[in-house]
Amino acid sequence: MAGAHARAAPLPAKIGRHAVVGYIATGGMAELFLGKEPTGRPVVIKRILPHLARQTSFVSMFIDEARIGSRAKHPNLVEVYELGQVGVDLFLVMEYLVGENLAGVVRRLTKRNERIPYGLCAWIIAEVCDGLHYAHELTDDAGNPLELVHRDVSPQNVFVTYGGDVKLLDFGVATAAHRLTQTASGEVKGKYAYMSPEQCRGEALDRRSDLFSLGTVLYELTTLRRLFKRPNELQVMKAITEEPIPRPTREHEDYPACLEDICVRALARDPAQRYASAAEMRDDLLRAVQQLGLPGDPHESIASKFARLFSDRMSQKREVLDRVRRGGDLTDLLSPEVDEQIEVPIVSQAGATPLSRVRAASEPVGRRSRSRRNWAFLAAFIAAILAGAGVGAYLRMRRAAERAKPTVAVSPPVEPEKVEVADRNVADVPPPPEEQYIVISVETDPDGVKVKVDGEERGPTPIDVRVKKGGKALEIQLLQTGFDTTKVQVVPDRDQRLYFSLKEKKIVPVVRKPGKKKDESPGFRRFN
């Protein structure tokens, strides 16, 4: 989605039963609004663009996204509340998340010359794997696999809340075996720099394509270097399909071997050499977390890091939420992207030793010839795109790319003896025992109310409280000076969203009894 800019047309007052309080962004198929439910809860409303609302193919694609989203109920996937239609308006209502996407996180880290610990990076990507595997395993009502492929796994679509929750967003370009609208053969969708080699070539995709994309995200989050960014889309696709992929240790000498093994395997150009599933990749990431160490709760570690990185954004977003609930003016809604002017450096290229060098050297001549034929096909395919309806989009993307001219950092080449076979097994360390957790999202009017769970203080609202899943009720207590204390019992058997409007305490005058001292203030009041 594009960044938030002024919208020429006036905002609609309502979309369906939801009040529209602000404009977020416009993409290729839809526009995003910040909305408010009748209960006061903020939501994101995704409405298909008016000029596309009468085109069957776009409407079908939009309904596909809604159906996929309605089935994908998982803590690491963004939740779709409803699909609605009023007149020609076709829209989705989704949960409103307070945090930043990984693209913004990487830019802010680059700007401040900071890094996130390797173990915490591995945990974040493991959380994405958890949600992605759930989506890959989705079935229809008859139990038939949907064979879903996200096709747009990228830093922009991995969202981390200020409380440390990780969410995979946007199934708008996903493809599934039983979806209403089938993608035309050879049609390319997704962000170019995060596509898999087979996606670049317009070939049939399966879940392993998403794992290549996620490997790119892992590489960039841990190195703070753009892996496949190039001046134009043709060069991006050539880099993905043919150019040597520098090993992460080329960018950082301290890069841990266990994480490099995961990058090597996820970024294998041959899908057969990659992980077979996101669950398998997650297992290796959790073993890496165990080896690298992760002191304390990762949610608290992220919350602490983000409180320093995004203190300005956090206060601004808290103000936005407060104004949403109070019905204030939101014409100056905060941009969804952060530090857009920051250019993240690209990887070093001079003398790069490819991740797949050992395997490539042993390939038969016939396979290398097929690789050259694949590139010839790719070039022809790109030419066809430019000659067709995609010319406008391509030119816009090319102009944007040409405005950004990153400098290439050159580092010494990696010695050949450091290269390892891509499918090297990670040490057989048993994964840590896993406990099931759920998230209770607590919102209040007013904001900033202290939340206690079974007597333990968890922080001010709005807040996502992560607790162990179970059948025993928890007591949630809400405390704010000048307001009545609220207590509720909640059974933590599933993810829940709670909203409370606190009542102000009544001020009761003190009745003065005969014989009181005269210097006692007659205007004294107390709270009950």
> Which is nearest to 281 in space by CA: 337, 211, 221, 226?
211
- Residues 453 and 461 sit within 8 Å (Cβ to Cβ): no
At which residue do the structure tokens 């016939």 appear?
366
- Residues 190 and 154 sit within 8 Å (Cβ to Cβ): yes
Distance CA 162, CA 303 (A): 5
Q: What single-letter amino acid sits at 161?
A: T
Residue 325: CB atoms within 10 Å:
20
Distance CA 145, CA 132 (A): 14
Q: Token digits for 495?
A: 């993810």
Is 152 tagged catalytic? yes
Burial of 478 (0-12, 13-18, 19+ CB in 10 A): buried
Q: Tell me the sheet residues that pair with 476.
A: 453, 488
> Which member of 64, 130, 152, 339 is catalytic?
152
SS (H, E, C) 39-99: CCCEEEEEEECHHHCCCHHHHHHHHHHHHHHHHCCCCCECCEEEEEEECCEEEEEEECCCE
Burial of 526 (0-12, 13-18, 19+ CB in 10 A): exposed
Q: Token digits for 485?
A: 């204390």
Residue 115: CB atoms within 10 Å:
15
- Residues 495 and 473 sit within 8 Å (Cβ to Cβ): no
SS (H, E, C) 210-265: HHHHHHHHHHHHHHCCECCCCCCHHHHHHHHHCCCCECHHHCCCCCCHHHHHHHHH
Supply the residues annotated as catalytic.
Answer: 152
